[in-house]
Structure 1
C-alpha cells in the first residue's frame, strides 16, 4: 500500500510539473506590443555574433564586430562584407571563432564612431577600450583599467564629443564573455559604469556594484547617461549636469533583459534590445542567486538557455522616451525569424539589428 502511495505521489508531482512548467518559464505577453519583427530582412554575416553596429560619419556601413576579433563593414548587396579592422595582431589561429582563444584573438562588442575624427572606438571584451582610424587596420588600446582595477569584460559605450569623454561598462571583475551566462546567474555585483576623459586620460567609476551592466547611452543634451542592468530589469540614470549632477536614479523598468542601448537620430528616444523577455522562473531565480548557482552546476548550457529564454528564443525591442516611458515594443515572440537580439540602430527609417550569438543582422523598415 505504501509503495502504491509513493508511485501515485510521484505521478502526481510529474503531472503537476508538466502542467506548470510552461507557465513558469513562459515569457510574458506585453500588452500593446507589435508582432512585426518576423518580417525583417535577414543579412548573413561571415562571422558569429555581430553584437553591436554603427555607421561611419559619412553614413556608410554598418560596421559590426564578430566573435573571431574582426570588425566588418557592409558594402551593400553587390560587395557584401569586407574586413575593416582587427583588435589583436595575433591572427594565426583566429580564422574561425574558438571561445578558448578569444583572449588572444579579441572579442569586439560595443562600437561607436567619433564623428569629428572618424575614429572607431571599440569595447573589446578582453582588451578594454580600443580605437582604429578611418582607414581601419589594427586597433590600438585607449584604456584598460579604472581606479586601479583592470577591465575584465568591457561591454558597451557612448561618446560625448563636446566634452571629449567616453562612457562605458565593465560588466564584471570575475567573469568574461565566454562565461556570460554564469555571470548572469551568479548574482555577482562587481560591474561598473565608467567615464574616460580623453584629455586627462583619467578613467573614473561613476556607478559600482552593478549586476552585469550592459548598454550605455547619453541623452540628447548630455545631461545624463543611462545604463542597462539586465538581471534587475532596470535602466539606471546617472546625472552629469544640472542640480542632480553626480546622483543616480531609476530611469525605466523594462520587461526583459536589456542589452545595448542606442539613441535615435533625433535624440528624442532610445532603442533597447532585449536578449529575451523575463519569465516568472527567471525573475524568481535572479532574486535568489543560490538558484542560479545550482542551475550552473547542474544543467547543460542548452537547458539553462531554455529555462531563462522562456522555453523559446525570441526577439523584443523596446522604444523608450526621454523620460523613461515605454513608447513601443516590437516583437518576434515566437522567434520565427529573429532571436538573441543585442542592439537596434536606427538609420533612414530602418532598424539595423544585431545578435550576440547568431551570424546575422536584420533590417526592419519602421515606416
Structure 2
C-alpha cells in the first residue's frame, strides 16, 4: 500500500497543528531510552510503565505526578552508581529492561532484560525476579521483545541473536546476525520452549487475541513473520510483510497491530521513523511519519491507548504521545 498521501498530509500541516497533535511526557532528570510501554489493566487510570537505559522501570501516574521509580532489574544494582548513567560498561550491573508486558489477572509485569533474561515484577515493584536465563542449554544473549497471552498467561519473547549486549548491537547489524530465537514461557509448567531458531534480529512480538498465532518482527531481516501456535498450521510460519527496521509490535483492543518501523527518505537514503497499523495477514492500513518530532532517530514502539499513540524510543528523554 502506498504511503505517499499520508506523508503529504502530515508534512503539509502548519507547525501549530503539528504541535497540537503531539506532546511529550518528560522522563526524570538524566533518564533516557523508554524502549517499551506497558499499560495497567484498568484503562481509567492511564497508568503505564517504561524501562529505561539505567536499569530502572518507571511508573507514570498522570501529568500531576509524572514518573516515579517502580522497580529495577539488576540484582546488585546501586542507585548511587546506576541512576542516570549512560555508561554502557555498567549495563551488566545496572541492567537494561527492554520488552514489557502485563499479565492482568495475576497483576504481574514481565520484563525482557538484555543482561538478566526473562524477569517479573509484582504489584509492589522494587527488585525484579529472574524467571529464566536460558533455554535448551543456551543462555539468552539479548532478551528483546515480549508479549503475554492473557487467557493462558503464556509469555512470548525473543532472544535477538548472537550479540551479547547493546555495546555490540552494531556488530549484529553489520554481520547480518541470524541466531535469533522465538521462545515461550508457560508459567503453569514453569517451562520455556524454543519455538523458532535462526531468526534475523527478532525485535518485537505480539500474540493474536485468540492465541492462534504470534507476529515477530525481524529488525535485521526487515520483515515480519507469522508463527502459528495452534490449528492446522501449528508450528509453521510465513513471512507476511517487508519493511525497513521493524521493531516492537503491539496488539490493539480490536485485534489488529501497531508496529514501529522506518521508511527510506530520498534522495539521502536516510531512515524516517514511522508507525504502521497492520492486520494479522500483513496488510498495512495506515502509516504515520514521526520525523517532525524524532528526526531520523528510530522509534521502538507504538502503543495505542485512549485514542492516542504512545511512542517509545531508546534515543529520547521522553515518551511521545500522538493524537490521531
Global fold match (TM > 0.5): yes
Q: Which residue of 1 aligns with 2:254?
A: 266
Match for 1:166 among 137, 155, 177?
A: 155
Establish whether residue 181 from structure 1 lines up as the match of residue 170 from structure 2: yes
Distance 2:294 2:41 in 1: 34
Report the Cα offset of residue 141 of structure 1.
0.4
Q: Which residue of 1 aligns with 2:217?
A: 228
Of residues 112-121 and 192-201 in structure 1, the stretch that sits farther from structure 2 once superposed is 192-201
Establish whether residue 79 from structure 1 lines up as the match of residue 61 from structure 2: no
Q: Which has the larger radius of gyration?
A: 1
Residues paired across the two proteins, number = 307
Distance 1:57 1:332 in 2: 27
Report the Cα offset of residue 339 of structure 1.
3.6
Query: 1:337 and 1:78, CA in 2 relative to 1: closer, same or farther beyond 3 A?
Result: farther
Counterparts of 1:1-367 in structure 2, within 5 Å, are 30-34=3-7, 36=10, 39-46=21-28, 47-59=31-43, 60-89=46-75, 90-91=77-78, 92-97=80-85, 98-254=87-243, 256-267=244-255, 269-274=256-261, 276-278=262-264, 310-311=269-270, 314-333=272-291, 339-366=297-324
Spell out, residue by residue over 1:25-49, the C-alpha distance to the aligned partner (whole angstroms, 9 max, x if none): xxxx943334549541122212110
Q: 4+ runs of 1 displaced by more than 6 Å? A: none
Query: 1:148 and 1:178, CA in 2 relative to 1: closer, same or farther beyond 3 A?
Result: same
Report the Cα offset of residue 278 of structure 1.
4.4
The TM-score with structure 2 as length reference comes to 0.89
Distance 1:246 1:165 in 2: 16
Spell out, residue by residue over 1:53-78, the C-alpha distance to the aligned partner (whole angstroms, 9 max, x if none): 01112234221000000011111221
Query: 1:101 and 1:362, CA in 2 relative to 1: closer, same or farther beyond 3 A?
Result: same
Query: 1:241 and 1:280, CA in 2 relative to 1: closer, same or farther beyond 3 A?
Result: farther
Of residues 240-249 and 167-176 in structure 1, the stretch that sits farther from structure 2 once superposed is 167-176
Distance 2:102 2:89 in 1: 29
Query: 1:145 and 1:280, CA in 2 relative to 1: closer, same or farther beyond 3 A?
Result: farther
Report the Cα offset of residue 196 of structure 1.
1.3
Distance 1:85 1:201 in 2: 23
RMSD: 2.1
Query: 1:51 and 1:87, CA in 2 relative to 1: closer, same or farther beyond 3 A?
Result: same
Distance 1:85 1:135 in 2: 9
Considering fraction of residues, name the structure with more strand: 2
Query: 1:139 and 1:355, CA in 2 relative to 1: closer, same or farther beyond 3 A?
Result: same
Spell out, residue by residue over 1:187-214, the C-alpha distance to the aligned partner (whole angstroms, 9 max, x if none): 1211001111112222111111111111
Considering fraction of residues, name the structure with more helix: 1
Distance 1:348 1:333 in 2: 23
Greater relative CO (CA pairs within 8 A, separation 6+): 1
Note the residue ranges of structure 2 that are not aligned, 5 or more in a row: 12-17
Spell out, residue by residue over 1:283-342, the C-alpha distance to the aligned partner (whole angstroms, 9 max, x if none): xxxxxxxxxxxxxxxxxxxxxxxx9xx44x632111101221010100034556684211
Distance 1:190 1:238 in 2: 17
Note the residue ranges of structure 1 that are not aligned, 5 or more in a row: 1-28, 282-306
The TM-score with structure 1 as length reference comes to 0.79
